[in-house]
Structure 1
Amino acid sequence: MVRITDVARRAGVSPSTVSYALSGKRPISAATRRRVEAAVRELGYRPPGRARPVAGGRTNVLALVLPPAADVTAPAVMERVASVVTAARAHGQDVLLATRAEGPDGLRQAADAALADALIVTDVRAHDPRLPLLRTLGRPCVLIGLPAEPDGLTCVDVDAEAAGALCVDHLAGLGHRAVALVGPPPRGPARRVARGFAGAAARAGLACAAHSCATAPDAVRRTAGRLLRARPAPTGVAVHGGPLLEPLVGAFEEFGLRVPGDVSVVALGPDPLTGPAGRPPVTSVTVPSAALGARAVELLMRRLAGEPVPGVTLLPPRLTRGASTAPPRA
């Protein structure tokens, strides 16, 4: 049996460093983590408690790991769960939903206790503390989300750069010459959206600005004010994130602007957005949650069958035309 001391010796580190690299409980340099992960793979090390529940057999169960903070009644989450269950059933698989635990320890519990052949792990972030463990679980995993270092992992996510570019292409096609992006701080997917947005604006020769904005009403009003004071003031605005959409449209109206008469608005989100209550649907750039869940199952079944799969799969966004965009006023 391979022990943690054998891994430490192969990687040239202490056993405690191996433990920290696998658990994510303390920061470890990227170079050290890679040496530990390589040693784990080479030696076939399995930390205690990771034995398969059915030795040599298949359970025909997939574990779907949702973040503990997820609102499992939210439409996007429910759609993703339903798509995973539907796609798994088509392959003769059951799905076990794991939602309670958090971080590497929670992931280990899901991998150890759940009688599952493989895992789909959702809400994966750029520097997710679960990543070291995911690389050494010893069973197939597919991640929904794109980490900063996806090497050795199987990931599926939205093509966020293409989503940002699609917003600009739509607004430019309507004749807008000054555009702005309003959304969360540029980290992870938001950074990729901003990069795609800025790149498309540069290619089209558009004036372009990006603004990070919290969802608090005062913050939204301040951002709307900055947009109006800009020179040139944008006539087309892309809003990244559903929670920002309604307050920003409301702030525009407080300043006397009409959507889309005075300013066109495109929303980016996981699913088509209806906008503020009682208003027509907004123009949206989305990748439906169901598509992510179904593709994750497809990749996982291919991995279980021993077939090669791409490390990163990015699903293309689509634009749904609504009533919130129109050509700018002459």
Structure 2
Amino acid sequence: MAAMTEVVAVASGVPPYVLVSGPEGVLAERALAATLDDLRVAHPDLEVITLHAGAYEAGQLGLHASPSLFGGAKCIVVHDLDEAPDDLQTDLLNLLAGGPEPDLTLVVLHKSGQRGKKVLDGLRGARARVLDAPAIKTDRDKTEFATAEFRRARRKATGEAVHALVEAVGKDVRELAAACRQLVEDTTGVIDEKVVLTYHGGKVEATGFRVADAAMAGDAAEALRLLRHAIGVGVDPVPIVAVLAQQVRQLVKVGSAGRGRSADVARDVGMAPWQVDKARRTLSGWSADGLATSLQAIAAADAEVKGGGRDPVYAVEHVLLVITGQHERGRDA
């Protein structure tokens, strides 16, 4: 049995056990799809059985793992091991204990947490192929993801273009992936910021990032214009204040990090290199006192937009005027 299993693994390029580990749905789906595609190269008639932890009934796994009457390759995909009931975990452990079966591939998806740990240990002990699907949460993560998307499509995108795209659609990774694909399919040549703005300019302008950029540059009129536009299209004041806080904190981090290559500073402070470059350009108009005063004003605005004040929009307008005023003082100092 072991020898036959080895032949199948070599023929398909996929080992008998595969673990997709991590919470990012887009990456997990791609890992699963790539695995099934690899299996179908050697087994065009591959039978795929999908089991979900939430709807699992005891004994299902063993039933599906049994050789079919007419033979043929089979792949069992188990979703959400991290939510698995005891029956599913027990059946998985029993299947692993029996060793690999010819023409059978087991793919298990596990988002995070300790539930299902014995099964995870069993898979790793059986030398399962582990495909990572790590969380994509921070701006740096999203920047790296978008950059990799363009690189995978063999297209060059400038840092400014990636930055603008993350600002426009970076809230949802699936939407970000779709936006990257659209730009690759609909355009030619280098993807620059102008191209991104052509497709997503309205979204970019409506984000809190554009409001914050204008404020940090000391442009009160533009910051207020962008704020009113954002509010007009339904952007909530709370995330706008959050972005203001983020940008001021980034200036403090980069200002305290001293000189050095952008990539090194970015790694040390948990930012993307383009964010470090942007912060360095912005810092020329700021003093340490101005940043401290701005942080205090932002903290007050944050409390007001979360229910502590009567008029959230006025609170944001006020903090924008405080920030732009501090920028002017920093430039004059």
Does TM-score exceed 0.5, indicating one fold? no
The higher radius of gyration belongs to 2
Give 1 or 2: higher helix fraction.
2
State the TM-score, normalizing by the size of structure 1: 0.28
State the TM-score, normalizing by the size of structure 2: 0.28
Give 1 or 2: higher strand fraction.
1
